[in-house]
Structure 1
Amino acid sequence: MSESMEKKLAAAMAELTAVQDAVARAEDELGQSSATARSRDRAVEVTVGPQGELTGLKFPDNRHQSMTGPQLAASILEAVQEGRSEMARKVMDVFEPLTRTAGQGTGIRGIDIDWNRAFGSALEDSYGAGRRSSARLHDEIHED
């Protein structure tokens, strides 16, 4: 193997190690993350973990006591969707630097992440689609 090839290989290996270290740091950071969100009517507050799982549910000021079952359900779903969307944005922000093209001549590229596959419906709210259907359901319940 030529000396220039060895240098390229060493540079690529160093870059790969750096990317692996950055991914491990990002995973550690996100492992301790959560997102808290409230429904628009302020009746429900949720906390969502790093994988979009519901880790907390509160009913501030007991506003839920005057709500019908469908109204409360809509508020819970809305708050959970908002929390999942916020957590998805946090994950994307943490991993974004790793998705950029990397390498100076080594040919190693940034990590290619399919955010839609990773977050599904949680990501829709970031772009408004999920919010529109959630808001529509909430409005329909209020009309009843």
Structure 2
Amino acid sequence: MTELETVQAAVARAETELRRASVTVRSRDRAVEVTVGHQGELAALRFLDGRYRTMAAGELAASVLEAAERARMRMSRRVMETFEPFTRPSAAVPELTGVDIDWAEVFGPAVLEDRQVPPDHSTRNRLHDEINEDTEDEDRHV
């Protein structure tokens, strides 16, 4: 029973952490920056350096969609990583076999493809200066 209560408390902590989570991604062309919340919802959209003024509507739309999709994918993978320990069987209590989650059903099959995600550039408890924030593939997780 103690093991079950420990797992339940850990799941509650993970859920609380994820409710406050967000991911910010810049488009590959560096024209837009998109932030998504814990459910993949669009939380913020910024047009960077006035580049949008010289872009065709289709180009700008493609930049927004590309950044939003990458941000949603990173958030999905973050959720998967957070809950992965709960999918494993308990070493202490064999009856607790772990939760079987079909991630492809939850997030779509693309979430299982190309799981090579750049390292987490967490902004939590870290100061960034302009140079650090301006790196090529700077994506932020909160």
Tell me if both proteins adopt one fold, taking TM over 0.5 as the criterion.
Answer: yes
Does 2:58 match 1:73? no
Map residues 2-81 of structure 1 onto 2, 5 A cutoff: 13-81=1-69
Instruction: Give, as a single letter, the amino acid of the residue that structure 2 aligns with 1:58.
Output: R
Q: Structure 1 or 2: larger helix share? A: 1
Q: Which runs of 5+ in 1 are unaligned?
A: 1-12, 129-144
Aligned-pair distance for 1:97?
A: 1.2
CA distance 1:121–1:108, change in 2 (3 Å) = closer
Question: Which residue in the other structure is 1:114 paired with?
Answer: 102
* C-alpha separation in 1, matches of 2:22 and 2:51: 24
Aligned-pair distance for 1:103?
A: 4.1
Secondary structure, in 3 states, of the residue corresponding to 1:45?
strand
Deviations 1:74-114 (A, max 9, x none): 11100000000111111111111111111434411112111
Return structure 1 stretches of 4+ with deviation > 2 angstroms: 103-106, 124-128
Question: Is the Cα–Cα contact under 8 Å of residues 85 and 126 in structure 1 kept in the other structure?
Answer: no
Instruction: Give, as a single letter, the amino acid of the residue that structure 1 aligns with 2:86.
Output: L
Deviations 1:18-76 (A, max 9, x none): 11111100000101100000111000100000000000000010111111111111111
Q: Percent identity?
A: 53
Q: Which runs of 5+ in 2 are unaligned?
A: 117-142
Count of matched residue positions in the alignment of Structure 1 and Structure 2: 116
Query: TM-score, normalised on structure 1?
Result: 0.74
CA distance 1:49–1:122, change in 2 (3 Å) = farther
Map residues 60-139 of structure 1 onto 2, 5 A cutoff: 60-120=48-108, 123=111, 126-127=114-115
- Tell which structure's C-alpha radius of gyration is larger: 1
* C-alpha separation in 2, matches of 1:69 and 1:117: 33
